[in-house]
Structure 1
């Protein structure tokens, strides 16, 4: 059941006043809380934790821009002529430090971190709550959620910017923190996730929408993999339990099948909770903004701003059922099987007919057209992603046969033939590259894959991608202007 909350909070320091709404996170409404009365009971602790989730929903992140930024940079898709110019800058790598979307991404992530720090920094006050009002295990659970969320926001930031300010809950320097080395931030991420996985509840015990033990284990493994710590990453993944692949690949991308057995962590949207503030919440995560624009933005029957690239379409094997779960082509049915996609449905505004359109996260399976918002949750981590990361780790530190076993579990669901266990290390790696490209298409992982594999420059040859520059985004001008401890000397190379 989807539930509604609006929590008014007075947060100290740079956070200000925020309201937060999360579906499936139920609590009493603690009206007009002040810093003096905060953290007196479970409802107040839960309210503060809930606020930390809200920034994931913002337009700057999964509400809209995250999709465009990463899918365009990976060239998994191509802009149609009508796509807004500020989105095209990510496809052709022409953004600079004045880019408002990059600044909003930075701001929204740090606001989420500040909200998490409000909880973490008040751990002593939380621990003073009497046991009969809040048990010790639930106190640790709520702190674990805040630390998971802080780690998640920081992981997004270091992947895009590298070195960033490290806000660890110490607010003794309110004018702004200096840039910290990426290694120090990653160490904080690992520490947060280690705490989180030890104290969060399992998926079967927790409310839908909250961070779980499995989510912390998964994100920790992913961070360690990105750091090329293959053995520890594999160990973190192997701690996970209670997950499996959906029988139907497409069930991962429909509203009615959210939080299924394959889902490890997803960002919540629910139109019933209100969308009146959807254009007013680029960064703050306040008001009724329970909508993502992905449906109408990507939908071929609506705005059709982008379409799957020819390169991506050509990657699928002929008998791979994931093609039909990812894209619409002429002759496909929609609206509960009552209508058929025709050639004219794939024409951009300029009249060019495109070979395919995105089906993932579209509402056409049950609607004739998209509205200006969608309530389908964004899947941040799926178990198929975990299996393929486990294959990558096993290929490095165990055996190719073990790695192939993980890959074949994913391929079996797709209906494609199993790989031979006799493949050598390079052949297994090449298989992983292929499998991640088709399994996770349009899910904001490929650009980071290309970067960490050192393949971005070769794959994006002929575009404006510049090696040594576009691996990172520029630190926003408005951060340099507003933070006296960050200067132009801290700017990333090439900007």
Structure 2
């Protein structure tokens, strides 16, 4: 026992010494930490705080510029992935492997990156807008004089309009519209723990912002320049606010209220359709009179070149050189089926004719173009003799090493939002180091063409066929298409020797004449005019949801099978065969006459196409050309019509379900 006591005493002594030995460093660390805390309590003279920033209108404008910069986050519009959820597009990986992505296959959930990124991008914009709004109210009394007061109102109205837009996107994208409402900038951790408001409350909140913007902002880009002075081009407009209010009603199928706002946008702002659709997408006429609001991009950039400090966008390169998005097969065939008006002079072209060696033989003058101008401004087809792609004919594109070619993975290229009108010999997008695979082409959020089609939908719902045709035909006339209806209709604005009207809704006499009616015009608007005019634009997901046809449309498209054909004996230049790049419905032969074929091919093409224009050694029933094959099976309205609240939000917001 005595020895045990000695050992115990010794153990206690050693333990005490060890404890003291360990405690001393902790005491030193604590003292050091206190010194650090005292140091941290000092004001950093270089830091931006409420005491040093948000002091004047200049600071407010700086914060406003940061809010505009939030729009450059490409996840807000989601051009590279959002349309894969719908009937418009497929991811390029699907063209390669017959497998899609979580978005395309409708297997996305609250952990999917795109879901999280879109949520984050919108709330970043809201946070920045709220910084400006809060600071404005703190400084409101310092705006002395009419000019200063007006300047302050413009700042507040822009911040509120931008906040309204971000909430519009969130409300129509996530959780059936139920969201946390942030009216001010959160200060304490508890301020972030927001319970979710009802969809109706969120809508009322952002509509109030948009109404304020509508009443207090210049209506158009031209008005900004005349009312606020040069240097204001690109700012959010009152016309955009009113258009977004109209779309809010449209999204709820409230056509009565939507009509009021849409007609006011059409009649009272001075907007007008551009004479050439290319002016809306290629950078040649940015901020034109059709544009209601567009995201402004530039090659000017911060030397650091990080994130949003890069003022240019990646969409152009990823649609062209990156080929990250392809139009769905049904939409491709829709574009190819459009009828150019043979009487319209804009459809008359000069076409190169080549000999069998690929050398230029002659030029046909004033022949009717093969495909519509709307298609030419939206996508390529390898056999298009009249369109151009970076200065070369479609089948020639891809001979340069930097440019992808028409092929199995890229049967068609999307031309929208790219510099396809650049005459650079087929090099494609500028890949020089200083451009860093980026583009300065602006991206439209809203333009008059969309407003026309929304108004036409209101007229169809109202039962006014004549007025609906008036606005649809204005869109069609701009692209040189045959117009719908009868030339004797009161809505027939373009009667004359340069315009063809056809009272046949599908414009295909072989199917029998189907006169234009309210019922079939509604279907035509939904599945022809809107997807072809507004591909990768507008709110296709919202449309399919509000029409109640999303599942039905995906299932319908999934039933069609397609063959891929080689484009061989290429006489558009000395180029090799384009492999498996021409889409046709299974069992349907490409029978139209190509003017460059030998005479014997014209006589035999219907029976033996394999010997001539397109190689008959085709791949039948290509799985990678099927649309929504997996997504149509997985799509469940209650799960996939809206994006879910992201996992990060559920983890960080303890009151999300209160």
TM exceeding 0.5:
yes
Aligned to 2:440: 375
For the residues of structure 2 that align with 1:457 and 1:334, how far apart are their CA atoms?
35
Give the one of 158, 168, 181 matched to 1:145. 158
Aligned to 2:92: 80
Residues 1:454 and 2:548 aligned together: yes
Alignment of 1:6-25 (within 5 A): none
Deviations 1:164-188 (A, max 9, x none): 1111227475232111111111111
Aligned to 2:459: 394
Equivalent position SS for 1:379: strand
Report how far residue 138 of structure 1 moved.
2.4
CA contact (8 A) 1:83 1:305 kept: no
Give the one of 388, 391, 397 matched to 1:333. 388
For the residues of structure 1 that align with 2:195 and 2:96, how far apart are their CA atoms?
34
| Cα distance, 1:140–1:227 mapped onto 2, change above 3 Å | farther
Aligned to 1:358: 414
Q: Mind listing any 5+ residue stretches in structure 2 that lack a counterpart?
A: 1-45, 225-231, 341-371, 432-436, 490-514, 556-628
| Cα distance, 1:364–1:400 mapped onto 2, change above 3 Å | closer
Residues 1:425 and 2:518 aligned together: yes
Aligned to 2:479: 414
Deviations 1:214-272 (A, max 9, x none): 11111111112112222222221222211111101111111231111111111121112
Residues 1:469 and 2:643 aligned together: no
CA contact (8 A) 1:197 1:216 kept: yes
Pair member with larger Rg: 2
For the residues of structure 2 that align with 1:349 and 1:342, how far apart are their CA atoms?
8
Report how far residue 212 of structure 1 moved.
0.9
| Cα distance, 1:222–1:424 mapped onto 2, change above 3 Å | same
| Cα distance, 1:398–1:146 mapped onto 2, change above 3 Å | farther
For the residues of structure 2 that align with 1:465 and 1:248, how far apart are their CA atoms?
38
CA contact (8 A) 1:75 1:91 kept: no
Aligned to 1:13: none
Aligned to 1:21: none
Alignment of 1:264-279 (within 5 A): 264-274=292-302, 276-278=304-306
For the residues of structure 2 that align with 1:80 and 1:124, how far apart are their CA atoms?
48
CA contact (8 A) 2:239 2:292 kept: yes
For the residues of structure 2 that align with 1:55 and 1:348, how far apart are their CA atoms?
32
Alignment of 1:431-442 (within 5 A): 431-433=524-526, 434-442=528-536
Residues 1:174 and 2:268 aligned together: no
**How many pairs were matched up?**
445
Higher deviation after alignment, 395-404 or 466-475: 395-404
Residues 1:215 and 2:270 aligned together: no
CA contact (8 A) 1:57 1:289 kept: no
CA contact (8 A) 2:136 2:156 kept: yes
CA contact (8 A) 1:58 1:289 kept: no
| Cα distance, 1:296–1:170 mapped onto 2, change above 3 Å | closer
Give the one of 373, 377, 384 matched to 1:321. 373
| Cα distance, 1:356–1:112 mapped onto 2, change above 3 Å | same
Higher deviation after alignment, 159-168 or 461-470: 461-470
Report how far residue 32 of structure 1 moved.
6.2
Aligned to 2:326: 307
CA RMSD of aligned residues (A): 2.8
Which of the pair has the greater relative contact order for Cα pairs under 8 Å at 6+ separation? 1
Higher deviation after alignment, 310-319 or 376-385: 310-319
Report how far residue 348 of structure 1 moved.
7.4
For the residues of structure 2 that align with 1:131 and 1:364, how far apart are their CA atoms?
50
Report how far residue 364 of structure 1 moved.
3.2
Aligned to 2:61: 46
For the residues of structure 2 that align with 1:127 and 1:261, how far apart are their CA atoms?
34
CA contact (8 A) 1:40 1:129 kept: no
Report how far residue 415 of structure 1 moved.
1.6
Aligned to 2:649: 479
Report how far residue 398 of structure 1 moved.
6.4
Aligned to 2:15: none
For the residues of structure 1 that align with 2:182 and 2:456, how far apart are their CA atoms?
34
Report how far residue 84 of structure 1 moved.
11
CA contact (8 A) 1:270 1:376 kept: yes
TM-score (norm 1): 0.83
Higher deviation after alignment, 159-168 or 36-45: 36-45
Report how far residue 350 of structure 1 moved.
12
| Cα distance, 1:333–1:351 mapped onto 2, change above 3 Å | closer
